[in-house]
Structure 1
Amino acid sequence: MTSATFSVGLYPSEADWGWRRILAQEGLPFRESSEPVSPVTAFAGRLPDWFETYLSGGGTAVVSGAPDVDGVLPRSQQALVHRFLTPGSQVHCEAPCIIRVFEGEGEGQIRLHEDRKVKGENDPDCYSAVLTKRVGAGSVIYTGIPMTELLAVGGDRLRRFSPFTEVTERVSGVDKADVADSLVWMLQAAFRSAGIPYVRLARFPEAARSVFVLRVDVDGVYGDRARRLAEVASECGIRASFFFNGSLCDEFGGDLTGWWRQHEVGQHGYLHNVFDSVDANRRNLEHGAAWVRDLTGNQPVGFVAPRGLWNRAIEEALLAYGYVYSADFGLDFDSLPFRTPGGIWQVPMHPYSPERARVFAEDSGLPPPTADVVRRHYLNVIGDQVQRGRPVHVYGHPEILGSMADEVIPALAEAVTAYQLVGMTLSQFAGWWVERASAGMRLTVDSDRRRVSIEFDGDPRPVEVHTPVPVSVRVAGEGTEVPGGVGPTVVGRRGNATLGATGGVG
Structure 2
Amino acid sequence: MSEVHAARPAALPFLLWKTPPGLELILAQEGAAFEVVHDPHPFAFRGGRFVLFDGRRESPATLRLLLTSGHVAIDVDAFRKGEPVDPFDALVDDRPMRATWDVGGYTLRERVARRPKAAIRERIINRLRDEVLARDGVWMRLAPFPHPFRSAFNLRVDLDEPVAEDYFRFALARNLLDDCTTHFVSTAAYQAEREVLADLAGRDAQSHGHYHYVYRDPEANLRNLERADLILRDRGFEVEGFAAPHGRWNASLDDAMEALGYSYSSDFQLGYDDLPFFPWKDGRFSKVLQVPVHPICEGLFLDAGAADGRCVADHLAAVVAEKADAGEPAFVYGHPERRLGRMPEIPLALAATLDRRPLVWRTTLTEMARWWRWRASRKWLAIARGPGRVKVQFDDWDADYPLALEVQRGDFRSLIPLSGPRTILDLSALAYERRPTPARRVARPPEPDRRPASWRQLVRQAIDWETVTPVDEIPDATLAGRVKKGLRRWKLQRTGTS
User: If the length of structure 2 is used for normalisation, what is the TM-score?
Assistant: 0.73
> Could you tell me whether the CA contact under 8 Å between 2:153 and 2:360 is conserved in 1?
yes
The change in CA–CA distance for 1:439 and 1:173 in structure 2 (over 3 A counts) is same
CA contact (8 A) 1:45 1:146 kept: no
Structure 2 Cα separation of the partners of residues 324 and 353 of structure 1: 24
Alignment of 1:188-337 (within 5 A): 188-249=129-190, 256=196, 258-261=198-201, 263-293=203-233, 296-337=235-276
1:14-29 alignment, distance < 5 Å: 16-29=20-33
Q: Distance in 2 between matches of 1:379 and 1:146?
A: 34
Greater shift after overlay, 173-182 or 242-251?
242-251
Name the stretch that deviates more: 192-201 or 414-423: 414-423
**Deviation per residue, 1:423-458 (Å, 9 max, x gap):** 11110000110011111122112464x111111122
| Residue 436 (structure 1) aligns with | 375
Deviations 1:294-345 (A, max 9, x none): 5x43343421112211111111111111111111011111111112213211
CA contact (8 A) 2:240 2:264 kept: no
The farther-off stretch of 221-230 and 159-168 is: 159-168
Give the structure 2 partner of residue 342 of structure 1.
Answer: 286
Displacement of 1:26: 2.2
Deviation at 1:400, TM superposition (A): 4.2
Deviation at 1:278, TM superposition (A): 2.7
Q: Helix, strand or coil for the counterpart of 1:258?
A: helix
Which of 13, 31, 37 does residue 35 from structure 2 map onto?
A: 31
Superposed CA deviations along residues 253-283 of structure 1, whole A, max 9, x for unmatched, are 7962633235211110111111223321111
CA deviation string 1:186-218 (max 9, x = no partner): 121122111212110001111412100111000
Whole-Å separation in 2 of the counterparts to 1:320 and 1:393: 27
Match of 2:17 in 1: 11
Q: Which amino acid in structure 2 is aligned with residue 46 of structure 1?
A: R
- Looking at structure 1, the residues matched to 77 and 413 of structure 2 have their Cα atoms a distance apart, in angstroms, of 33
Q: What is the alpha-carbon distance in structure 1 between the residues aligned to residue 92 and residue 257 of structure 2?
A: 19
Measure, in 2, the Cα distance between the counterparts of 1:238 and 1:345.
22
SS of residue paired to 1:22: helix
CA contact (8 A) 1:27 1:201 kept: yes
Matched residue SS, 1:167: strand
Residues 3 and 446, structure 1, Cα contact 8 Å, conserved in 2? no
Unaligned runs of 5+ in 1: 68-99, 102-128, 130-142, 362-366, 490-495
The alpha carbon displacement at 1:502 in A equals 7.8
Alignment-mate amino acid for residue 353 of structure 1:
C
**Alpha carbons of structure 1 residues 324 and 257: separation in structure 2 relative to 1, 3 Å:** closer
Secondary structure of 1:370 counterpart:
coil
What is the match of residue 413 of structure 1?
Answer: 351
Are the structure 2 counterparts of residues 424 and 203 from structure 1 closer, same or farther at C-alpha, using a change threshold of 3 Å?
Answer: same
Distance 1:53 1:223 in 2: 63
- The structure with more strand, counted as a fraction of residues: 1
Counterpart check, 1:40 vs 2:50? yes
What is the aligned counterpart of 1:422 among 358, 361, 365?
A: 361
User: How far apart are 1:172 and its partner, in Å?
Assistant: 0.6
Shift of 1:50: 2.3
Deviations 1:70-125 (A, max 9, x none): xxxxxxxxxxxxxxxxxxxxxxxxxxxxxx75xxxxxxxxxxxxxxxxxxxxxxxx
Q: Quick check: 1:371–1:408 contact (8 Å CA) kept in 2?
A: yes
Correspondences of 1:483-494 after superposition (within 5 Å): 483=428
- CA–CA separation in structure 1 for the residues paired with 2:173 and 2:417: 45
**Seq. identity, %:** 27
For the residues of structure 2 that align with 1:474 and 1:402, how far apart are their CA atoms? Answer: 39
What is the SS of the residue equivalent to 1:220? coil
Query: CA 1:63 to 1:395, structure 2 compared with 1: closer, same or farther past 3 Å?
Result: farther
Is the Cα contact below 8 Å between 1:452 and 1:474 reproduced in 2? no
Say which SS state the counterpart of residue 241 (structure 2) adopts: coil
Where in structure 2 are the equivalents of 1:114-153 lying within 5 Å?
129=82, 145-153=85-93
Opposite residue 406 of structure 1, the aligned amino acid is: P
The residue identity in structure 1 corresponding to 2:86 is: P
- RMSD (CA atoms): 3.4
Q: Secondary structure at the match of 2:254?
A: helix
For residues 325 and 171 of structure 1, what CA distance do their matches in structure 2 show? 18
* CA–CA separation in structure 2 for the residues paired with 1:377 and 1:298: 33
Map Cα deviations across residues 118-168 of structure 1 (whole Å, 9 max, x no partner): xxxxxxxxxxx3xxxxxxxxxxxxx68421111111110110268777412
Moved more, 31-40 or 327-336: 31-40
Letter aligned with residue 326 of structure 1: S
- Indicate the SS of the match to 2:169: helix
User: Which ranges in structure 2 are unaligned for 5 or more consecutive residues?
Assistant: 1-6, 280-284, 439-498
Hey, what's the Cα distance between the residues in 2 that align with 1:387 and 1:163?
20
1:64 and 1:149, CA in 2 relative to 1: closer, same or farther beyond 3 A? farther
Distance 2:180 2:271 in 1: 24
How far apart, in 2, do the equivalents of 1:52 and 1:166 lie?
53
Residues 169, 342 of structure 2: 8 Å contact kept: no
Which amino acid counterpart does residue 298 of structure 1 have in structure 2? F
User: Residue in 1 aligned with 2:329?
Assistant: 391
Q: SS state of the match for residue 327, structure 2? A: coil
Segments of 4+ in structure 1 off by > 6 A? 55-59, 162-165
Structure 2 residue 311 is the aligned partner of structure 1 residue 373: yes
Residue in structure 2 matched with residue 170 of structure 1 by the alignment:
111
Q: CA deviation at 1:421?
A: 0.6
What does residue 124 of structure 1 align with?
none
- Tell me if structure 1 keeps the 8 A contact 2:413–2:435: no
Q: Is the 8 A contact 1:27 1:441 kept in 2?
A: no
Residue identity opposite 1:43 in structure 2: F
| Alpha-carbon spacing, 1:474–1:408, altered in 2? closer, same or farther (3 Å) | closer
Query: Counting helix residues as a fraction of each chain, which structure ranks higher?
Result: 2
Are 1:244 and 1:266, in contact at CA under 8 Å, matched by a contact in 2?
Answer: yes
Q: Secondary structure at the match of 1:317?
A: helix
Alignment check: 8 A CA contact 2:389 2:424 kept: no
Matched, 1:355 2:299: yes
Structure 2 counterpart of 1:25, one-letter code: Q
User: Counterpart amino acid of 1:203?
Assistant: P
Cα distance change on mapping 1:482 and 1:207 into 2, 3 Å: farther
Q: 1:93-104 residue pairs with structure 2 within 5 A?
A: none
Q: Secondary structure at the match of 2:341?
A: helix
Tell me, yes or no, if the aligned pair for 1:41 and 1:60 is still in contact at 8 Å: yes
Residues 327 and 354 of structure 1: CA distance in aligned 2, closer, same or farther (over 3 Å): same
**Is the CA contact 2:391–2:423 (under 8 Å) kept in the aligned structure 1?**
no
Kept after mapping to 1: 8 A contact 2:275/2:328: yes
